[in-house]
A = this chain, B = another copy of it.
Amino acid sequence: MALTISDIGQSVLDTHYAVRGPIVARAQELEKAGKKIFYCNIGNPQALGQKPLSYIRQILALAEWPGLAGKAKGIFPSDTIAVAEMILKESKFGLGAYSDSKGLPFVRKAVAEFIQKRDSGDGVTVSSNPDNIYLTDGASKGVQTALRMLIASANDGIMIPVPQYPLYSATITLYGGRQIGYFLDEGSLWCLSEKMLEEAFISARAKGLRPKAICIINPGNPTGSVLTRDNIAMVIRFAKEHGLSILADEVYQENIYRPQDRFVSFARVMTELGEKDVSLFSFHSCSKGFLGECGQRGGYMEIRNLPADVLMQITKLQSVSLCSNLAGQIVTYLMVKPPLPGEPSYETYVSERDGILGELKLRAKLLAEGLNRIPGISCQPITGAMYAFPSITLPEGRTDEEYCMDLLEDEGVCLVSGSGFGQQKGTAHFRTTILPPTDQIEEVVRRIARFQATWK
C-alpha cells in the first residue's frame, strides 16, 4: 500500500510555514485562471521588478564560462574580469566542483574581513575567524543547522519573538523542540524589553521546558524595528544569566530607513562587553539588503564562543549535504567585497545600490502612510527590513486568516495573516512587503482600503 498521511511523523504534520501556505497556493490558482495578483507575501525583490546589480551578474557570467573574458573584449569592466579571474584561481576548480563543506576558504576569509571592518571602530577591534564561518544556501539553511544543534530533546525550548519569521517556528516544530514566544511591544515601535524576555523565560521554566537559546531578528521581520546597542547588550546579559545561546538573524542589516537608526551587530556588542561565555550564531544572506539575490541562495553563518568539538559537529552535519551552491558562495563574496572607489565598476555599483535603497525607503514611507489613512488599520513606522505588520480591526468573530483569504479573492492582494507570525491574543495583523513598485504600492493600498471598508 502506498504511503499515507498516517505514516507521516507528527512533527512534519505540525510544521507550518505561513509565508508559502494555503493562501499563496490559492493565489497561484487564481493567477492561472487569469486574475491579476499582487504578491506581497514574500520578500522576493527581483520578482517585483528589482534589477540585479550589474557588478554581481557580470562576474557570475565570467566565472560560469571561464573562456568568456578572452572572447568578449571590451564588454566587461576590467575590474570584473580581474575579480572573476581571482575567483577561478582561488576556488581552484571553478563553480562546478564541490567546495569544502564550510565553503570556499577565500570566501570565508573575505566574510571574516567584512565583519571585522563592519564592526570595528570607536576604539573597539572586532576580530572574526574564517574557520568559524559557514557558507550556506541562503540564511535559512544556517538557521536550520543552528537549531538542529540546539534542540536535543522534546523539552528543549527556543525563545522566539512574537511576531516572528515563521522559518523559526517551522524549524523548531520540525526538529521536535518547543517554541517560547516573547512579545514585542507594538506600541513602542515593536521594541524588545527585558521584562518581556523574563516573563517568557519564567513561564517556560514553569511549564518544565529547558530554554536553550534566544532568537533575535534585527532589523525585525515582520516588524521592521531596529535594535539599539543597549537593547543588544541587554539581550546578551540576559542570555548569559540564563545560559542561553543567541541566534542573531541579521539579514536585513542594510535595510534601515531612518537617519537616526543604524545597524549594530551582536558580534560588535559581544566584543565590547568582552563576552566569552555566550555562544552566538549570526546569519546573513544575499537575498535581502540591496542585492535581493534570493534565487542564488547565498548566505553565511558566523559562530562565536563555541568549543571546537561542537564546531566539528556542525561541520559534520554540513558535510552530509556536501556544500552550499557555488554561485551562491560567489555572490556572498561579492556582497562582502563590493568594488572600491576608483575602480571601474564603482560608480555604477553605487548608483544602482543607492537607487534601490532610495526606492525601498520611499516605499516604506508611502506604504505606512497609506495604510494609516485606512480606518481600522494602524501601522507602526517601517524603520527597517522589507515589511509592514499593521494591526487591523476585524468584524466580530472573524479571523485574520479569513481576512487575507477574502482580500485575495476580492482584490487579488496576497498578504500573510498575522497568525502565521504570532501576535498578542485579541489582536489581528497582516504582513505585507514594501517591495512592489511605487505605483503598485498605491494600488495595493487602494485595494486594501476598499476591502477594509466593506468586509463583514
Interface residues of chain A, those whose CB is within 8 Å of chain B, are 1-5, 7-10, 12-13, 15-17, 19-21, 28, 42, 44-47, 52, 54, 57-58, 60-62, 64-66, 68, 71-72, 75, 92-101, 137-138, 140-141, 144, 148-153, 167, 170-171, 174, 212, 243, 245, 276-279, 287, 292-297, 305-307, 309-310, 313, 316-317, 319-328
Contacts and interface: CB of A to CB of B under 8 A. Distances in A.
B96 A313 contact: no
Nearest to A68: B61
B327 A3 contact: no
B98 A313 contact: no
A308 to B, nearest CB: 10
A52 B294 contact: no
Given A8-B149, A277-B2, A317-B174, A325 B322 contact: no
A95 B140 contact: no
Nearest to A170: B320
A92 B297 contact: no
A9 B151 contact: yes
A278 B4 CA distance: 11
B307 A322 contact: no
Contact of A3 (B2, B9, B150, B170): B150
Contacts of A7: 150, 152, 212
A191 B189 CA distance: 66
**Complex copy number for this chain:** 2
B309 A97 contact: no
A65 B71 contact: no
Contacts of A245: 2-3
A144 B317 contact: no
Given A61-B64, A68-B75, A148-B174, 9 more contacts: A3-B245, A3-B306, A12-B149, A46-B96, A47-B92, A60-B61, A98-B295, A140-B321, A327-B327
A3 B310 contact: yes
Contact of A61 (B44, B62, B170): B62
Contacts of A60: 61, 64-65
Contacts of A10: 152
A217 to B, nearest CB: 16
Contacts of A138: 321-322
Given A2-B278, A94-B295, A96-B294, A313 B20 contact: no
Contacts of A66: 57
A144 B95 CA distance: 24
Nearest to A91: B295
A61 B65 contact: yes
A65 B57 contact: yes
Which of the listed residues A42, A46, A62, A309 has the most CB atoms from chain B within 10 Å of its own CB?
A: A46
The 3 closest A-B pairs by CB, nearest first: A9-B152, A295-B326, A20-B319
B140 A295 contact: no
A15 B153 contact: no
Contacts of A319: 17, 19-21
B61 A309 contact: no
16 contacts: A3-B306, A5-B307, A7-B212, A10-B152, A12-B148, A12-B313, A12-B317, A46-B93, A61-B62, A96-B294, A148-B174, A171-B320, A297-B325, A325-B327, A325-B328, A327-B327
Given A15-B316, A60-B65, A170-B320, A5 B149 contact: no
Contacts of A75: 68, 71-72
Given A8-B310, A71-B75, A317-B15, A243 B296 contact: no
B306 A2 contact: yes
A247 to B, nearest CB: 11
Given A4-B310, A65-B60, A71-B75, A326 B296 contact: yes
B152 A8 contact: yes
Given A71-B72, A138-B322, A243-B1, A96 B327 contact: no
